Amino acid sequence: MRVNWNYIKIVSLLLAIGGLYGFADHRSKQKKVDDINIKFLGDNNLYLTEDSVNKLLIQNYGSLKNRAKEQVVLNSIETVIKSNPMVKSAQVYLSIEGELISKIVQRKPIGRVEGISKFYLDDTGNRMPLSRHHSARVPIITGKITGKTLEDAYVILEFVNEDDFLRKNVIGIHIEDENKYQLKLRVENFVVNLGGVENLDEKFKNFMAFYVKAAKDKTLTKYAVVSLEFDNQVVCTKI
C-alpha cells in the first residue's frame, strides 16, 4: 500500500496551525484588561467627561481594569455607554496590548430651549439635557413650546446652520404661536418676523437682499421690525 506523504504533511500542518491558533486564543482570553482609554470624537466641547464615563462603567461592572478579557462583553459595554443621554454613538474594542478603548461621539445641540423645562434641541431634532460640564453657544428658543413648534424651530435652525451669515448672526427664536416665529439677531436691534416655516429659502433670500441694501444705506438702525411673512416682499416697521 502506497502512503500519500503529501496528504499526511498537509493534515499535520493543518493540525499544527489549529493547535497554535487554539493556544494563542486561550492565552489571549487569559490576558487581563491593562488600561481603559476613553476617546471623544468630533466636537471638542465635552458635554460628557471621561470621569463620567468611567463612573458609569464602574456603576454597572465594577472595576474593569485587571479583569480577564473573556469576562469583558464589549456589546454590553457599548449599550451602557450609549444609555447616557449625551451620547450619540459609541464603539468599544480591546487592543492587542489589552487596552479597553471606547470611542464616543457626543450629541450635538443646535438650539437651547428656555421655558418651564430647559433643554437643548439636538441636530436630529430631539431633546437633549443640559450639561453641567459645558454650555453650548447656540440660539435660544423661547415662547410657546409645543411638539409642533419645536419641530418647526428645528427646521428653521437647520436652515440657519446651512448659511454662514445666518449661523453667525441668529441668536434666538421666539415662538409667538404656531406659524408665528420671530428671529433675534446678534447685532441689530430689530427683530425678524418670519411667519411660518414655508418658503424659507425665498424668505431668507429676500431678507439678505434687504440687509445688504440697508447696510449700504446705513439705515439698519432705523427699523424695529422686519417682516418676511408676506409673499416675495420685506415689510419694515420703523422705530
Same domain, 136 and 185: yes
Strand partners, 92: 102
Task: Give mean pLDDT in consecutive 10-residue pieces for the chain, a chain of 239 residues.
Answer: 54 52 48 84 85 90 79 89 94 88 95 94 96 94 96 96 94 94 91 94 94 92 92 86
CATH number at residue 46: 3.10.20.310
Give the separation between CA 32 and CA 124, rounded to whole angstroms: 39
Same domain, 82 and 187: no
Same domain, 182 and 207: yes
Question: What is the extent of the structural domain holding 128?
Answer: 109-238
Give the separation between CA 183 and CA 197, rounded to whole angstroms: 12
Same domain, 130 and 180: yes
Structural contact between residues 112 and 145, judged by C-beta atoms closer than 8 angstroms: no
Residue 17: inside a domain: no
Q: What is the pTM of this model?
A: 0.81
Choosing from 77, 106, 135, the residue where a domain stops is: 106
Give the separation between CA 208 and CA 60, rounded to whole angstroms: 53
Residue 40: inside a domain: yes
Considering its fold, how many domains does the chain have in total? 2
